[in-house]
Chain A
Amino acid sequence: MASKKPEVWVFIEQEEGIIHPVSFELLGIAQKLAHDLEGRVGGVLLGEEVEGLIPEVFAYGAGVVYTVRHKTLRYYRHRPYAKALAEVVRRFEPEILLLGATPLGRDLAGGVATLLETGLTADVTQLSIDPQTKNLLMTRPAYGGNLMATIICPDHRPQMATVRPRIFPMPEKINGTKGEIVEVEVELTEEEAGVERIGFIPKEKSIQLELAEVIVAGGKGMGGKEGFSKLFELARLLGGEVGASRLAVEAGWISYEHQVGQTGKTVRPKVYLAIGISGAVQHRAGMQNSDCIIAINTDPNAQIFALSDLGIIGDWRKIIPLLIERIKERKGLGRN
């Protein structure tokens, strides 16, 4: 085992046979890290029936997939999942273990790190390998995003981190890629799970802010619900979703599901329109990885302009209605 290639692992989060997209994003960054360590990427799949998902894990870049199949893992529960994951790590000793900072991933990570007595860094936004020490450099916002802190875990393995969805780009999918499959047996009992699911109320409608290609976001500068109805119209025309700053949500103009930022969603659309949003650090934390940012703001000193590809100093009321009209014309929907 001594001179084994170092491995960078991703916990593949699956529920009811569907893999969470954040796991693919992590396989993407894991490939980069594995390259710098001259190692390989591993995916860990836990569940009752998971064979069907393995090809996808290879297609997104894993060289090896570890699976634990057990009836107790048929749906997510903390203890059996934590025990199984910790056990696989103990047996194969990866250098790095990444999990999505989803509710499930965060729940799991804290237990696994404790079982393994290793360090865990939450909500990481940048990952790289220190060329000298080969340690993982994990950077995360601190103090409400006012500062960035780079954390290391020099003497314990694996180095563990959780990463929010949409921080890293989706890697290319190469269908038909093959790799090694390692089946691991772990002893699990219903008794030690301690928890039993007796019901489930699915969310009614959920907007897909994280996956939208265009987001039209409004802030306090929208002035009210009427302003937001214009944004909904624009978003519909562009095939996108509406986002919002916390102040707009707190004002009751739009629901929390639309909030972007540190305490809302993290997004990385192709285009993010920030309208009447000042660009506070907590808002930026959720949208600064967007491919292209367009800002409209009356205040020439608004911080949002500093990260915009296109900034328009002015009142949205003079621009958005005209923009909507021009787009309708192009689509042949113009008023007669």
Chain B
Amino acid sequence: MLNLLVSIKQVPDTTNIRLNPETGTLIREGVPAIINPYDISALSLACQLKLTYGGWITVITMGPPQARLALKEAVEFFADRIILLSDRKFAGADTLATSYTLAQTIKFLTREKPFDLYLFGKQAIDGDTAQVGPGVATRLNIPVVTYVIKVEEINLAEKYVVLHRKTEKGIEILKAKLPLLLTCEKEVSSPPFSPFPLLLKAQKTEPQVFTADGPIEFLREKLGLKGSPTRVHRVYTPELKKSGQIMNLEEVGEEEAVKAILLLLEKRRIL
């Protein structure tokens, strides 16, 4: 049986982010929170593996109290146990502090029963950093394979897995030892069909909540803002810089417009 851990993040749906044109600040009201799309793929993969090989799925997330909704949704992906890490002391974490908090949690859970596979998203769409997965693997001292697009085979007896991974030049086929952390691309799996009783169960299930005070022991100076080496120094709205020549086709005519383009192409030595 496979023991699987999935780490998910609740993110604002950035496709719906708008700016207040007067102040340049983000309009947060009404922006729905969703499970990071790559983490949906990780959840789907966990579910697929559970149904193929038999298994047990634990899902964790670190976030504000409302992140419990993301975990409840994970139950629809056949999650067996859901855990929310929520505490003001975790807030303001950059990727280093986030990977510390998640890795400590995983080490704690491992004491009950070691995991075979850790599934993360390729990146979280609110920051696009793609650092947390490799960071957690480093802290757990296990190998990591990023940008996974397919799990071809899992051999539990011999403790290895065969994976396809996307690189800049093509697709790499890898044989990797378990335990392993992998980060998922969208195409790695698609969401399962969730039977009605499971949807009901998702509604009723509440996550276990872990705080900075227990049951896991954390070094305070490694948590949240305190544990984050990076600081935001300044935030500003990007300004559009150039103001070049603008011509209206109706006024200048087609020949003139085309001439202007040709002239620029010549100047730049394209023609």
Contact = CB atoms under 8 A, between A and B. Distances in A.
Interface of A: 15, 78-79, 82, 102-104, 106-111, 113-115, 117-123, 137, 141-156, 193-203, 213-214, 238-240, 270-271, 281, 284, 291-294, 300, 303, 305-315, 318-319, 322-323, 326-327, 330
B128 to A, nearest CB: 6
Q: 4 shortest A-B CB distances, which residue pairs?
A: A314-B249, A194-B143, A119-B229, A110-B134
A247 to B, nearest CB: 12
A194 B176 contact: yes
Contact of B94 (A82, A119, A154, A293): A119
Nearest to B269: A270
Nearest to A285: B238
Nearest to B161: A195
A147 B258 CA distance: 36
B195 interface: no
Nearest to B131: A110
Interface stretch (B106-114, B167-175, B210-218): B167-175
Contacts of B139: 114
Contact of B146 (A78, A120, A238, A327): A78
Given A111-B135, A153-B230, A120 B96 contact: yes
A222 to B, nearest CB: 17
A201 B171 contact: yes
Contacts of A306: 240, 242-243
Contact of A103 (B168, B232, B254, B268): B168
Interface in B206-242: 228-238, 240-242
Contacts of A119: 94, 96, 228-230
Interface in B135-194: 135, 137-139, 142-147, 162, 166-177, 180
B29 interface: no
A288 B119 CA distance: 36
Given A122-B129, A195-B176, A308-B242, A110 B135 contact: yes
Contact of B17 (A113, A143, A202, A323): A143
B247 interface: yes
Contact of A195 (B166, B171, B177, B261): B177
B247 A311 contact: yes
